[in-house]
Structure 1
Amino acid sequence: MTDVNVVIIGGGAMGCSLLYHLAKAGWQDIVLVEKNDLTHGSTWHAAGLCTHFAHNPTIQELRATSVRLYRDILPEETGESCGFHRSGAMRVTRNPDRMDEFRHVAGLSEFTGYPLEIIDQERIAELHPLAVRDGLLGGIYEPDDGHVDPSLATNAMAKVAQRHGAVIQRYNPVHSIHHENGRWVVETKNDTLRALHIVNAAGTWGFEVGRMMGVNVPSVPVLHQYLVTDTVPAIAERQKKGLAELPIIRDPEESWYCRQERDGFILGPYEKQAQVWSVDGVPPEFGAELMAPDLDRVEHIIEAAMARVPALATAGVKTVVNGPITFTPDANPLIGPAHGVPNAWLLTGSSMGVMEGGGAGKFLAHWMTHGAPPMDALAVDSRRFGPWADRRYRVDKAIECFGLQFGVHYPFEERPAARNLRTSALHELMLERGAVMGAAHGAERPNWFSSRPHDETRDSFRRTNWFEAVAREVDCVTNRVALADLSVFSKFDVTGPDTLRFLDALGANTPPRPGRIGLTHALTPAGGVASEFTVTVFAPERAYLNSAAAAEEMDLDLLRTRAQGFDVRIRNRTDELAVIGLMGPRSGDVLGKLADVTGLSWLSAREMDVAGLPVRVLRVSYVGEKGYELHLDRAHAAQLFLALEEAGNAFGIGHYGAYAANSMRLEKGYRGWGMDLTTERTPLETGLAFLVKPDGRDFIGRDALLKRQPGWDMVLLEIDTEGEVEPFYSHTVFAAGRPVGVVTSGAFGHRVRKSLALSFLRERDMREGLTVKLLGIERPARILAQPPHDPQNLKLKA
């Protein structure tokens, strides 16, 4: 048996990148084990495309980091090229919504510092003379994009890692994994490794290795084909003239990419109905094999590509590559701690392992070294899926993601595959009342309520069909009373003699007194916001914590880790309890018909009977109106909901959904975890200094929080949109023509009739002359000195 510090399982681009970055960060005793040779599985047959196009800043940075690594850093370190070609790339479209998507991504990129250019037909023809521009509205050009040789890049990372002392064991498959006495025991063909840390970077085998680790890894291998042509005369002629390599071209409506490969082309089609492969286990003998070509599946896509790039039709097919690539349920990689097990990490599931691998390895190496990710990790955190992500879910979502590889990414899209996995006790009642549902962490919740049967959201980057419906819901909450199904909250009981001591050490705020409600932010070691908890203390030895739906596994890990050394018990109640929101100026009148709410003031809580049912009643509101949250056993939820409706009929009771709640919380300037609150910024930078109480207390991140200079400043903006488009997220804020900030969340505030956005400014003295770029147009913006709705909280305290 050999004792090591880290075992990385998988020698593809992802695993070798982590090995490289850990070794360069000074980690010792790192071993990478690979069942075959490096790059086997998916890396070796990848097309090697590299891009800066992304809808999320973290994903974009993973890709941009990969480009810098392959293009500049590795060649300098090794003295050898990784085969990176800076060809540039373009995406073209005939779809108006796609042009809005391009404008949005280009706007975000002005903030992140990666230049992307919106292009018209003339520019398309200039950049790619072999492409037909007819029928196109335009596109987007990515000048620093290109393609790399996957094998050269992977082996270069491995070479540098070995130079720094890392060990690579080829042809050494893993037979079993278990955890004992605080160490991971990995039994391989050639040795037994006992490690403090284990990393699943197994790619195609990620699900199987996860099963050995006792971790659910919701990834599925999907077969992807691309073809390599013989010589294309038009390209050969260009080469004779010494002309530059053609840019990569993608037509997302026709679902294909095409890039120059020497004097020919590589064409990669993505069919709408994906073919999954070896869902429950990859054949043991599989390594660097390919499947037989099946071009009939993609013939119609090839024909469409030839119509756009006629030169494709002038060459024969030299090779067809048909091999597996892994897809997660949202097509983003799984990066970060594995849920529920100590010192276990995932770095797998990327359908674009070469494109993202260089950056992904650096991202995880930082997380392992510093105890927190370098950027907001929500889009990639390996715990964003729970145990509910079962076989059907991962297969159905992988097929959907593959088919929508080039789908438009709308800001509020709700994709239809694998729905209704987690439904609340009020689900059917919501549907009966016209709820149009969305999903949060696999759980169904009402987004908005329609007066028309079987209505659905029409996706758009502009105002959509739920705008007026949300206005009606807000009016009901503001002037009467409305009910909401809030059961998607994550819910945790904390009990035991050390409950108050534990809560005091959990976050930046002190715990509330018994019978009261407070808010605390658990911090990263660097002082960023890891989690946000609503804390209700019922008794000195009994508290109740609520947090965001998407944070369930992350927060459970955090609570259990930080509870070590305290005499407390953490119990996850998320699936056991339902939550009913009762909001509006008449909410007290409605609840008063069913229970005695005398003395239940704002931010107080009481366990009591409501309509004869045991309920945890919290006098708290996220929507800026007097209101209550009613938490109870899901078995009683429907009965209580109907009783509340009956009691509220005299007051014109209605219903509201998540979109209305988002509008109303922005009118109060309330920050939202995962949007406005992330690990990147401290509570002080986020405008929450009143919730930071460091004196005489010790909590993780305290010293770093106090030492960090608040370089960023969160502000609430009013934006002149002229009713065309509303802010949502990732819009760049400008001052004097320079990017100075970014919108983290936004919506139209129906009560105040203003378009509102919470935004970070990286120049704290910048207060005048601000604009926000929405879909390519800069709109004037002003900082609001106070929330526009009820700034003194008079309604909340009524």
Structure 2
Amino acid sequence: MIKAQVVIIGGGAMGVSLMYHLINAGWSDVLLVEKNDLTHGSTWHAAGLCTHFAHNPTIQELRATSVRLYRDILPRETGRDCGFHRSGAMRITRNPDRMDEFRHVAGLSEFTGYPLEVLTPDRIAELFPLAKLDGLIGGIYEPDDGHVDPTLATHAMAEVARRGGARIIRNCAVTAIERQQDHWRIETAKEIVETTHVVNAAGTWGWEIGHMMGLNIPSVPVLHQYLVTDTVAAVSSRIKEGLPELPIIRDPEESWYVRQERDGLILGPYEKDAKVWSVDGVPPEFGADLMPPDLDSVEHIIMAAMERIPALETGGVKSVINGPITFTPDANPLIGPAHGLENAWILTGSSMGVMEGGGAGWFLAHWMTHGAPPIDALAVDSRRFGSWADRDYRVAKAVECFGLQFGVHYPHEERPAGRGLRLSPLHDLMVKRGAVMGAVYGWERPNWFSNTPGAIADESFRRANWFEPVAQEVEAAHNRVAMADLSVFSKFDVTGPDVAAFLQALGANRAIPPGRIGLTHALTPAGGVLSEFTVTRLAEDHAYLTSAAAAEQIDHDLLTQVAKGFDVTIRNVSEDLAVIGVMGPKSADVLPELSHMPWLTAQEIHVAGFPLRALRVAYLGECGWELHVGKEHAVQLFLKLEEIAKTHGLGFYGAYAANSMRLEKGYRGWGSDLTTERSPLEAGLTPFVRKDLREGLAWDNEWVMVLLEVEAGEIDPFYAHTVWKDGLPVGIATSGAYGHRTGKVLTLAYLRDPTAREGLTISILGQDRPATILPEAPFDPENSRLKTGGSK
């Protein structure tokens, strides 16, 4: 019997990085068990590419942290380099939309401090003279990118961790995992281990280890191959001339990457029709093994790469690497707490395990030792997929993500695979009324409504085909009445004698009194916003909490944790209740039995003969109600209300209209404007923080959130745009849209220099646009329409 504070299962780059960072954080009793040997699985056969290119600042920071670790820190700690080559990297394109994407990522990187260079064709030729320029319109250059030897880097981390007291047991397959009272019991081929914490860092085996833990890990091994050429004369000549190593080059449109490997080249293709492998369990004997080459399936990509880089054809194929890498449904890693389990953690699912592994270990080590992630976790949180992410879903999405490894990431992107898993009772009604659906946490929800049957949204960085329809939705909600299906909310009933004390402990606000509605924000130990709940106090002993759809597992875990020590029961009713929104100045005419209800009050009442929870609350800034009704009554209730509403000029609205209207009110959105990185005071939510917390906590209020009016242009802001003052990046936009009621282009942004009040500009796809801080919400700042039913 062995005992440890933490057991990490898996000895690839991710698991070893976590071991290294936990030791650095002061944990000494760290044990790693590995089925075969360190790096077996996907780490050893990885091409070792390292990049700073990312659409999300958290993913970018994981990658940048990996580069610093491999390039600077580990060589200093071990006295040996990790084979890191700072070659730089570039992406090239002939697609105008791709250039928009490049400009967006370059704009984000100006704020995060990892500047990237947008390229002209002439600059491409200067950086990579072996490439033909035919058809190219530009690219992007990542000067600090490079490649590393995955084996050297992993063993360097292991060496430093061992020095600090970490233990590693090789050739030790895990056979069973069981939760026993206050610890985990792990059976292995060699030992039985008792541990406080268990971490699934099993990579290719992540699904199987998750199954032992009682979890559904939505990752799938997918076969990826790359070929290594023999000597390429053009490369050999450069070496003899003393020229620098060629930068890594990627052509997203043709779906390949090329990097220099000594005096040859490596070519890595990503075919559209990916081959999943061992979906339901990896063969027991599999270790540092490869599949036979299958170059026929990628021949067209190889030919395209040779057309772009003719020197490739001169080298001949020296070897072909064909092995499994894991893909999640969104191609981001799974990092964080395991849903519903105590002291269980996930660190797996990365298709870029070496590229992200150094940073991923740092990220999870901070979460485990500080009780919260170091930066916003939503893009990687292991709970962003639920039990609905079944086998068919994870396979379909893995194939899609592999095929779109180099796909353009549009700001309102909706991908088609794995759809239709969670349907509101009102789904079919919405589709018949023209809803164009989006997906959030497995749910289908209306994004906007079209008069054209079968309409789909344009993919664009500029105003798309839904701009005018959304304007019509806003007009209906502003002047008449609009209905919506809001059923995707996460919903929880909290009952019991300690409800008031529970609510006081849950968030920063005071406990909401019976009959009232309020907001409360659950905080991290450092004071960041972990979750946002709309709290409806239905009775002294009954609170009804709603939150973002994507937060369902995160919030369920949080509520369960806070409930310890209180006499309350938590019940997830997300699937049990549908939500109908009835909004606009004529909404009271549609719901006369509710017209007596003041703003921010709630009642359990019958409407049109159906029992429901009526909430006088509206995210749009208009008079309105949310009607939370049992799913068995939802369709009949909707149809009855729709008939009444037609006489008052009925319209419908979706998520895009709601986003436009909430920005006109300056309302913050969880997951974009509200994250664990910023406190509610920094987010401008001081009225929702009770006085004792404001005074009793050492708030680090270095940032301030502002609502900006941006000079109108051909592109509306969306997120991750850098805010500038006097040539310096002083802030970052977190959300944005065109406000159809006010005619203003609006964005919420955090300024890390709170004194920067004048002379601001915001960079949107390379365009600098003047931005002015608005002192109050541009639409109905007195809330008169919310309070009085929309009368002016």
TM-score band by shorter chain is over 0.9
1:552 equivalent in structure 2: 552
Checking the alignment, whether the CA contact within 8 Å between 1:483 and 1:653 is kept in structure 2 is yes
Displacement after TM superposition at 1:99 (Å)? 0.1
> Aligned match of 2:708 in 706, 717, 726?
717
Instruction: Say whether 1:674 aligns with 2:671.
Output: yes
1:163 equivalent in structure 2: 163
3-state SS of 1:43 partner: coil
> Aligned match of 1:734 in 702, 716, 724?
724
Instruction: Say whether 1:663 aligns with 2:660.
Output: yes
The within-5 A match list for 1:744-759 is: 744-759=734-749
2:252 equivalent in structure 1: 252
The within-5 A match list for 1:608-627 is: 608-627=605-624
Displacement after TM superposition at 1:29 (Å)? 1.2
2:449 equivalent in structure 1: 449
- State the alpha-carbon separation in 2 of the partners of residues 501 and 589 from structure 1: 38
The within-5 A match list for 1:220-239 is: 220-239=220-239
Displacement after TM superposition at 1:737 (Å)? 0.8
Displacement after TM superposition at 1:104 (Å)? 0.2
3-state SS of 2:64 partner: helix
2:62 equivalent in structure 1: 62
- State the alpha-carbon separation in 2 of the partners of residues 177 and 546 from structure 1: 34
Q: Which amino acid aligns with 2:377?
A: A
2:28 equivalent in structure 1: 28
Checking the alignment, whether the CA contact within 8 Å between 2:588 and 2:595 is kept in structure 1 is no
Displacement after TM superposition at 1:3 (Å)? 1.4
Tell me the alpha carbon deviations over residues 88-121 of structure 1, each in whole angstroms, 9 at most, x when there is no partner.
0000000000000000000000000001000001
Tell me the alpha carbon deviations over residues 476-530 of structure 1, each in whole angstroms, 9 at most, x when there is no partner.
0000000000000000000001011100111000122111101000000000000
3-state SS of 1:90 partner: strand
> Aligned match of 1:601 in 598, 603, 608?
598
The within-5 A match list for 1:417-436 is: 417-436=417-436
- State the alpha-carbon separation in 2 of the partners of residues 661 and 511 from structure 1: 28
Instruction: Say whether 1:785 aligns with 2:782.
Output: no
1:507 equivalent in structure 2: 507
Checking the alignment, whether the CA contact within 8 Å between 1:668 and 1:787 is kept in structure 2 is yes
> Aligned match of 1:649 in 646, 661, 664?
646
Checking the alignment, whether the CA contact within 8 Å between 1:210 and 1:216 is kept in structure 2 is yes
The within-5 A match list for 1:511-590 is: 511-590=511-590
1:150 equivalent in structure 2: 150
Tell me the alpha carbon deviations over residues 340-383 of structure 1, each in whole angstroms, 9 at most, x when there is no partner.
01000000000000000000000000000000000000000000
Normalising by structure 1, report the TM-score.
Answer: 0.98
- State the alpha-carbon separation in 2 of the partners of residues 706 and 667 from structure 1: 31
- State the alpha-carbon separation in 2 of the partners of residues 524 and 378 from structure 1: 14
Displacement after TM superposition at 1:706 (Å)? 2.8
The within-5 A match list for 1:455-466 is: 455-466=455-466
Q: Which amino acid aligns with 1:711?
A: E
Displacement after TM superposition at 1:709 (Å)? 3.0
The within-5 A match list for 1:171-320 is: 171-320=171-320
CA RMSD of aligned residues (A): 0.7
Q: Which runs of 5+ in 1 are unaligned?
A: none
Instruction: Say whether 1:795 aligns with 2:785.
Output: yes
Checking the alignment, whether the CA contact within 8 Å between 2:327 and 2:349 is kept in structure 1 is yes
2:7 equivalent in structure 1: 7
3-state SS of 2:636 partner: helix
> Aligned match of 1:764 in 754, 768, 774?
754
- State the alpha-carbon separation in 1 of the partners of residues 350 and 595 from structure 2: 55
1:86 equivalent in structure 2: 86
2:733 equivalent in structure 1: 743
- State the alpha-carbon separation in 1 of the partners of residues 583 and 511 from structure 2: 25
Tell me the alpha carbon deviations over residues 382-434 of structure 1, each in whole angstroms, 9 at most, x when there is no partner.
00000000000000000000000000000000000010000000000000000
Q: Which amino acid aligns with 1:546?
A: T
Normalising by structure 2, report the TM-score.
Answer: 0.99
Displacement after TM superposition at 1:721 (Å)? 2.7
- State the alpha-carbon separation in 2 of the partners of residues 261 and 456 from structure 1: 44
3-state SS of 2:104 partner: helix
3-state SS of 1:186 partner: strand
- State the alpha-carbon separation in 1 of the partners of residues 169 and 712 from structure 2: 58
- State the alpha-carbon separation in 1 of the partners of residues 407 and 654 from structure 2: 26
1:634 equivalent in structure 2: 631
Tell me the alpha carbon deviations over residues 712-735 of structure 1, each in whole angstroms, 9 at most, x when there is no partner.
00000000132x000000000000
Checking the alignment, whether the CA contact within 8 Å between 1:50 and 1:63 is kept in structure 2 is yes
- State the alpha-carbon separation in 2 of the partners of residues 145 and 279 from structure 1: 33
Checking the alignment, whether the CA contact within 8 Å between 2:232 and 2:314 is kept in structure 1 is yes
Tell me the alpha carbon deviations over residues 580-623 of structure 1, each in whole angstroms, 9 at most, x when there is no partner.
0100000011011xxx2253110000000011000100000000
- State the alpha-carbon separation in 1 of the partners of residues 75 and 775 from structure 2: 51
Aligned length: 788
Checking the alignment, whether the CA contact within 8 Å between 1:204 and 1:325 is kept in structure 2 is yes
2:416 equivalent in structure 1: 416
2:373 equivalent in structure 1: 373
Tell me the alpha carbon deviations over residues 549-571 of structure 1, each in whole angstroms, 9 at most, x when there is no partner.
00000000000001000000000
3-state SS of 1:340 partner: coil
Displacement after TM superposition at 1:28 (Å)? 2.0
3-state SS of 2:273 partner: coil
- State the alpha-carbon separation in 2 of the partners of residues 598 and 45 from structure 1: 67
Checking the alignment, whether the CA contact within 8 Å between 1:434 and 1:449 is kept in structure 2 is yes
Tell me the alpha carbon deviations over residues 634-655 of structure 1, each in whole angstroms, 9 at most, x when there is no partner.
1110101101100111101110
Q: Which amino acid aligns with 1:176?
A: A
1:687 equivalent in structure 2: 684
Q: Which amino acid aligns with 1:718?
A: E
- State the alpha-carbon separation in 1 of the partners of residues 24 and 167 from structure 2: 13
Displacement after TM superposition at 1:694 (Å)? 3.7
- State the alpha-carbon separation in 2 of the partners of residues 763 and 23 from structure 1: 35
Tell me the alpha carbon deviations over residues 307-335 of structure 1, each in whole angstroms, 9 at most, x when there is no partner.
11000001110000000000000000000
- State the alpha-carbon separation in 2 of the partners of residues 669 and 642 from structure 1: 33
- State the alpha-carbon separation in 2 of the partners of residues 582 and 726 from structure 1: 28
Q: Which amino acid aligns with 2:624?
A: G
Instruction: Say whether 1:125 aligns with 2:125.
Output: yes
Q: Which amino acid aligns with 1:408?
A: V
- State the alpha-carbon separation in 1 of the partners of residues 691 and 366 from structure 2: 27
3-state SS of 1:319 partner: strand
2:384 equivalent in structure 1: 384
- State the alpha-carbon separation in 1 of the partners of residues 565 and 729 from structure 2: 46
Checking the alignment, whether the CA contact within 8 Å between 2:9 and 2:201 is kept in structure 1 is yes
3-state SS of 2:554 partner: helix
The within-5 A match list for 1:483-502 is: 483-502=483-502
Identity of aligned residues (%): 71
Checking the alignment, whether the CA contact within 8 Å between 1:508 and 1:694 is kept in structure 2 is no
Checking the alignment, whether the CA contact within 8 Å between 1:491 and 1:572 is kept in structure 2 is yes
Instruction: Say whether 1:401 aligns with 2:391.
Output: no
- State the alpha-carbon separation in 2 of the partners of residues 757 and 597 from structure 1: 34
> Aligned match of 1:706 in 659, 679, 697?
697
Q: Which runs of 5+ in 2 are unaligned?
A: none
